[in-house]
Amino acid sequence: MTRLNGPPFAVNPDLVQRIDSAPDTILTLVDGTKYIVEEPMVDVISSINEHRSRMIARAQEIQREDADHNHLRSAPALREDHDEDSDDDSAPPRTDRAELALVKRITREDS
């Protein structure tokens, strides 16, 4: 926006409560602050609509990126092979796959 007889400035479009044109364009913010601007009311409304459209488009783009990059999967279940003569539940389960050895078994004390 451009102040009437002044420099350009930015205004948060979410804070604009009302736009009047009588004959100058007056922006009234939610806190009651008023700005008289050079741009006609139609241009101010168009600028706000373009800003909001860009924000919605960006939010949708972020959601698509998150969906495309969400390759996280849950770890496969560990086989719990215990020695027959061992009743020790705190012993870690044995597994045939080396990469699963890094997964810690959560005991009741941990939770």
pLDDT higher than threshold 80 for residue 97: no
Q: Output the CA–CA distances (angstroms, integers) from residue 50 to 37, 44, 62, 66, in the order listed.
A: 18, 10, 18, 24
Q: What is the pTM of this model?
A: 0.57
Going by pLDDT thresholds of 50, 70 and 90, the confidence category of residue 39 is very high
Tens-digit pLDDT profile for residues 52-91: 999 999 999 888 887 776 655 556 666 655 555 555 555 5
Alpha-helix residue ranges (DSSP H) falling in 5-91: 41-69
SS3 23: coil
Positive or negative: CA dihedral 13, 46, 50, 7: negative
